[in-house]
Amino acid sequence: MIVRKLKLLKDDSPDEEPLRVTQVQLLDEPLSNQQSAVSMATLLARVHMWMKKAEFMKGPVTVHCMNGASSAGIYCVCSYVFDQIAAEETVDILKAVKVARSSRPQFIENFDQYRFCYDVIKEYLESYSVV
């Protein structure tokens, strides 16, 4: 995992406060094995921790991957489940997939990706204090 801190400036407004962006790059592509599940769980836990602690992170999280759907879809589904765990103390991956696919039908296109979501959630529950 690589973490980059960026400052974005507008050319036409040099006096404006720069937008600060944290970019996190997950290096385990394709997501397919236990180490990848550990990496994804770690990434999600860190992002959720940063969002809780950081005053400046009031906006959305932008997620992207090579094809715009595979790894990004897994991230979005698992992030939804993490929020579900925190709010309801339940895990419903099928519901999370349905919610994600309602806006991006390309998310979680096959059983391997669906199973990988389970692996990430399992790793997260075993490794992090969640409630």
Q: What is the CATH number of domain 2-127?
A: 3.90.190.10
CA distance 96 to 59: 21
Residue 28 has pLDDT above 70, yes or no: no
CB distance 97 to 107 below 8 Å: yes
pLDDT bin (cut points 50, 70, 90) of residue 117 is very high
55 or 91, higher pLDDT: 91
Any idea where the domains of the chain sit in the sequence? 2-127
pLDDT of residue 131: 47
Contact criterion met (CB below 8 Å) for 104 and 69: yes
What span, in angstroms and rounded, lies between the C-alpha atoms of 26 and 35? 12
